[in-house]
Each structure stands twice: as structure tokens, then as C-alpha cells.
Amino acid sequence: MKILVAGRDGQVGQALVRTANKRGLELVALSRQELDITNASDVELAIAQHNPDVVINAAAYTAVDKAEEDREQAHSINTLGPELLAKACDAVSVPFLHISTDFVFDGEKESAYLETDTCNPLGVYGASKLAGENAINQLCPRHIILRTSWVFGGEQNFVNTMRRLAKDRDHLNVVNDQRGGPTAATQIAEALLIIAEKVVNPAFDNWGIYHFSGAPAVSWYEFACEILKDVPSVTVTAIPTSQYPTPAKRPANSVLDCKKIETAFSIKQPSWKVALTQ
């Protein structure tokens, strides 16, 4: 099985490369310079040249706040990009695996979100990712969309931001009224590679959307306390979102129900605490 990955240099892209290497899987990962997913000829050329059995899109526009004023770029990368990849995969009957987000929901639900729950993104980033999901759904029936949340394990993420701030400050305020499942990029990569191995079987027919995130669900404040538990010089204080205004509104409840992926692929919800210590 040969896997082609777009978005090599992102958190999940890098984790896919590391994990495939460890597992001895054949994986070609292309950087943005090698494969710009918003460029139709780049997309067609990459698939023709590498002739993969599965394509994984790890490329995305992930700057949630910046997207509010950079709408065109966010939609180009998160909607047009997946659309071009889906079209190209369908043309050569190659399964397409894509990553989406908890930000497709408005966070108003009391309990964990199911794959069938109504989407209602609160900002440009979530809307652009939802439009990407819809394009894939229309253009490439043989797809898996993995919705995940609160990704860490690369350079730019909440874990590293907390650690960086803790070097200069003795006190941090962190919001306590947004809940979600932190998810290590490596855990996402492992799930995607298990799925890739299953979808190449011609008999596979469990296509569609799956939720996958780390457990247990926590608030950003609780996550920060765990990240900084070995840094006693820093005090972490819980604050409401109203005291930390951001350009993009975020869902209060980002918790994803992950039972469907366990039933279909035997992929259990991973522990983010284990990944954090690693």
C-alpha cells in the first residue's frame, strides 16, 4: 500500500511521516511547495506521479482568529483544496482521507457531539472546514472525514504556548468554560494509518464522517494545569471566555463522541495524558 500525504510540515503531516516510518509503511509526504492543494494541476500531477493507493490530506488553514479577516485564503485552503483532492481521487478511484474539526459545531449541545449532529460553525475557520467536508461528500463517495479537536504535538499549539508563557510569567489566566478533547498529532496519525489499511480493502464500505479525540474531556484551564503540573512557580487561574475575547468565537462544548470509530475500526479513544508525558 502506498500512501500520499499533502501538508507534510504540519503537526499531523509530520506525525504521519514518523508513524509510517515506525510501522514500515510506504508513505510519500509532500510539502506545500511540492503540492499546493489549491492548485488543480499540482494535485493532478502529484496523484499521477505517485500513483497512491490512498491519499491523506493533512494540509489546512488552521489560524482560527486570523481566518476572520483572511476569509478568502481560509476558504481556498480548507474548501477548494479538499474539493480538488476529492475530485482527483475520485477520478482514479483512490480513497481519500481528510481531517476536519470540532469547530463545525456551535458548542450549544449539552452532551458529546455525534457525527449526525447538525453543524453550525461560529466562525470563518469552522465554516471553511464544513464547506470542505460538504465538497468531499459530493465529489468523492469513497472518503473518510476524521473530525478531531485541540491538536498538540507539533510546534504551534496550546501545549507549547503554555510552556513558553510559563518561562516568562508566574501567573496565567486560562478559560474554564470551553471543554474539549486534547488530541496528540501522533494519535491522529495512528488512527489515519489504521483506517488507510482498512479502506484499501475492496470490500470496505464504511465511508463517511468519524469523530476522534483524546479522553478525558477537559476545559482549557484543566488542560493547562496538567501541562504545567511540574512547574510550581506558575499559578494558573480559571477565567470565563468573556474575560479573554478573541476575534473568532469558539464553541463552549467541543466534546466529540467517539463510539462510531471504535465500532467501525476498533480504534479506541486515546488518552491525551499519556501522549502529553511522551
Ligand X SMILES: NC(=O)c1ccc[n+]([C@@H]2O[C@H](COP(=O)([O-])OP(=O)(O)OC[C@H]3O[C@@H](n4cnc5c(N)ncnc54)[C@H](OP(=O)(O)O)[C@@H]3O)[C@@H](O)[C@H]2O)c1
Residues involved in catalysis: 125
E strands, 133-267, where? 143-148, 151-152, 171-175, 179-180, 183-184, 208-211, 218-219, 235-239
Q: Is 60 in the site for ligand X (CB under 6 A)?
A: yes
Using Cβ positions, the residue closest to ligand X within the complex turns out to be: 10
CB of 203 to ligand X, least distance (A): 28
How far is C-alpha 24 from the chain's CA centre? Answer: 23
Question: Which of 17, 27, 36, 126 touches ligand X by CB under 6 A?
Answer: 36
Cα-based distances in Å from 54 to 10, 28, 179: 19, 11, 33
- The binding track of 178-197 with respect to ligand X, each residue x by CB under 6 A or -, is -------x------------
Whether residue 85 contacts residue 55, with contact meaning beta carbons closer than 8 Å, is answered with: yes
Cβ atoms < 10 Å from Cβ of 247: 12
Sign of CA dihedral 260, 263, 266, 269: positive
Instruction: Rule CB under 6 A: choose which of 20, 37, 209, 217 binds ligand X.
Output: 37
Distance CA 32, CA 27 (A): 16
The correct pick among 3, 16, 17, 38 for binding ligand X (CB under 6 A) is 38
Report in angstroms how near the CB of residue 170 gets to ligand X at its nearest.
27
70 binds ligand X (CB under 6 A): no
- Using CB under 6 A as the binding criterion, the count of chain residues that bind ligand X stands at 28
What gap in Å lies between CA 209 and CA 266, rounded to an integer?
15
Q: Which is nearer to ligand X, 93 or 244 (CB)?
A: 244
What is the distance, to the nearest Å, from the Cα of residue 143 to the centroid of all Cα atoms in its chain?
16
| Interface residue with ligand X, options 45, 154, 160, 219 (CB under 6 A) | 154
Residue whose C-alpha cell is 489549491? 38
Looking at the Cβ atoms of 81 and 251, the one nearer to ligand X is: 81
- Stretch of 58-66, 104-112, 134-142, 164-172 lying at the interface with ligand X (CB under 6 A): 58-66
- For position 59 contacting ligand X by CB under 6 A, the verdict is yes
Least Cα distance to 9 among 26, 46, 34, 42 occurs for 34
Considering the rule CB under 6 A, would residue 9 count as an interface residue with ligand X? Answer: yes
Binding-site member from 16, 54, 55, 62 for ligand X (CB under 6 A): 62
Q: Which is nearer to ligand X, 57 or 176 (CB)?
A: 57
C-alpha pair distances (Å), 161 with each of 167, 249, 258 = 10, 20, 27
Q: Which residues contribute to the site for ligand X (CB under 6 A)?
A: 6-7, 9-13, 32, 35-38, 58-62, 77, 81, 99, 101, 129, 148-151, 154, 185
